[in-house]
Amino acid sequence: MRIGKNDLLRKLGNFLLSISAIVVLLIIWQIVVDTGLISSRKLAPPTKVVTTFIDKLTNPNPDGAVLMEHFWASLRLTVMGFVLACVIGIPLGLLMGYFKPVDYFVTPIFEIIRPIPPIAWIPVMLLLFGIGNGSKVAIIFLAALVPALLNSYAGVKRTSAVLINVAKTAGASKMQIFMQVCVPSSVPMIFTGVKNALSSAWMTLVAAELVSSSVGLGYMIQNGRTLSRCDIIIVGMLMIGVSGAIMSGLLSLIEDKVAPWMVKTR
Domains of the chain, residue spans: 1-43, 44-265
pLDDT for residue 10 is more than 90: no
CA distance 231 to 229: 5
CA distance 239 to 224: 14
pLDDT of residue 15: 81
Report the percentage of the chain scoring pLDDT > 90.
68
Is there a contact between 193 and 93 (Cβ–Cβ < 8 Å)? yes
pLDDT of residue 4: 60
Q: Which one, of 97, 102, 124, lies nearest residue 189 by Cα?
A: 97
163 versus 91: the higher-pLDDT residue is 91
Q: Which one, of 71, 49, 76, 85, lies nearest residue 218 by Cα?
A: 71
Q: What is the pLDDT averaged over residues 195-224?
A: 90
pLDDT for residue 262 is more than 50: yes
Q: What is the pLDDT averaged over residues 17-42?
A: 91
The architecture that CATH gives domain 44-265 is Orthogonal Bundle (1.10)
pLDDT class for 266, splitting at 50, 70, 90? low
pLDDT of residue 88: 97
pLDDT of residue 256: 83
Is there a contact between 244 and 199 (Cβ–Cβ < 8 Å)? yes
pLDDT class for 263, splitting at 50, 70, 90? low
pLDDT of residue 265: 52
pLDDT of residue 153: 96
pLDDT class for 14, splitting at 50, 70, 90? confident
Q: What is the pLDDT averaged over residues 26-45?
A: 92
Mean pLDDT of the chain: 90
Q: What is the pLDDT averaged over residues 240-265?
A: 82
What is the value of pTM for the model shown? Answer: 0.88
pLDDT of residue 1: 42
CA distance 229 to 39: 13
Is there a contact between 216 and 209 (Cβ–Cβ < 8 Å)? yes
